[in-house]
């Protein structure tokens, strides 16, 4: 089942800075073995050192993989950066851009996030552009203004570019806190994002919800008109929980 006829459901896992070779091997084996039971497209975004392991384990399955960040630069003297072309060599399909932890901890601006998304596209990757407000923004009634500001430089790349992206709404106050936006709160923001996409001519872009998504709350979130799937954090580290979300 899809939220709208032409928008397939997508469930992506974000491992963040978790994992080791042994634990990863077990998790990847479980994902590969069960991927045929999923009702939607599923993928995982893993730490850079584990991209080769993910590629080896998942090649030939329907589970895709990607990275949690991408450089805005193609090549050069950018110590510690990883380019889209490098990610592509490891079979990546996805690259997260603008996750709130990158925005907060590394000072990434809205313009920097748009540049990363553009670089991902140039390398043949699908950027997953994350937006979301802080608790202070929500309590001040500024949620939609913040989302509009964050999306502005991304939408300025034009309909052709945006149509090849995925967007993810992740309220900062719900990430890793156990708190989840109510389906109605999430739908309000997703509806605003959809309206902006429609105005651009890219209404069919998938918009995911992220923020303490679990099997217990995913069904009510997925029932909302403009929520096309999930960007899953901690629950993606447990194969059974992640696959239960994907099976809804």
Choose the catalytic residue: 41, 99, 133, 190.
99
Euclidean distance between CA atoms 184 and 197, whole angstroms: 20
Asked whether residue 212 is assigned to any structural domain, the reply reads yes
Domain count of the fold of the chain: 1
Choose the catalytic residue: 41, 101, 108, 170.
170
Asked whether residue 19 is assigned to any structural domain, the reply reads yes
Residues with Cβ < 8 Å from 26, sequence gap 6 or more? Answer: none
Asked whether residue 194 is assigned to any structural domain, the reply reads yes
- pLDDT bucket at 120, cuts 50 / 70 / 90: very high
Asked whether residue 59 is assigned to any structural domain, the reply reads yes
Asked whether residue 5 is assigned to any structural domain, the reply reads no
The SS3 of residue 2 is coil
- pLDDT bucket at 246, cuts 50 / 70 / 90: very high
Structure token digits, residue 118: 């553009």
Burial of 113 (0-12, 13-18, 19+ CB in 10 A): buried
Whether residue 35 is predicted with pLDDT greater than 80 in this model: the reply is no
Tokens 């091997």 correspond to 25
Give the model's pLDDT for residue 89. 98
Annotated binding residues: 14-16, 176, 212, 233-234
Asked whether residue 4 is assigned to any structural domain, the reply reads no
Annotated binding residues for substrate: 14-16, 176, 212, 233-234
| Structural domain boundaries, residue 65 | 10-246
> Considering the entire predicted model, what is its pTM?
0.95
Give the model's pLDDT for residue 108. 98
What percentage of the chain carries pLDDT values higher than 70? 96
CATH (domain of 26): 3.20.20.70
Residue 101 falls in the annotated catalytic set: no
Give the model's pLDDT for residue 38. 66
Residue 99 falls in the annotated catalytic set: yes
Asked whether residue 207 is assigned to any structural domain, the reply reads yes
Asked whether residue 3 is assigned to any structural domain, the reply reads no
């Amino acid at each position: 089942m899809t939220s709208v006829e032409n928008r397939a459901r997508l469930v992506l896992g974000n491992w963040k800075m978790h994992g080791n070779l042994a634990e990863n091997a077990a998790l990847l084996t479980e994902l590969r073995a069960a991927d045929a039971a999923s009702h939607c497209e599923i993928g995982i975004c893993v730490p850079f050192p584990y991209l080769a392991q993910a590629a080896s384990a998942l090649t030939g399955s329907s589970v895709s993989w990607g990275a949690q960040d991408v450089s805005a630069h193609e090549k050069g003297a950018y110590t510690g950066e990883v380019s889209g072309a490098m990610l592509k060599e490891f079979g990546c399909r996805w690259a997260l851009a603008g996750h709130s932890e990158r925005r907060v901890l590394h000072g990434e601006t809205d313009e920097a996030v748009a540049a990363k998304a553009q670089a991902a596209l140039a390398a043949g990757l699908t950027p997953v552009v994350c937006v979301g407000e802080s608790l202070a923004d929500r309590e001040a009634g500024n949620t939609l203004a913040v989302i509009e500001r964050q999306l502005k430089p991304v939408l300025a790349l034009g309909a052709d570019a945006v149509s090849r992206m995925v967007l993810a709404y992740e309220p900062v106050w719900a990430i890793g806190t156990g708190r989840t936006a109510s389906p109605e709160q999430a739908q309000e923001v997703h509806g605003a994002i959809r309206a902006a996409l429609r105005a651009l001519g890219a209404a069919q872009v998938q918009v995911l919800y992220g923020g303490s998504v679990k099997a217990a709350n995913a069904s009510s979130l997925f029932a909302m008109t403009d929520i096309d799937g999930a960007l899953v954090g901690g629950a993606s580290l447990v194969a059974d929980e992640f696959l239960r979300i994907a099976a809804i």
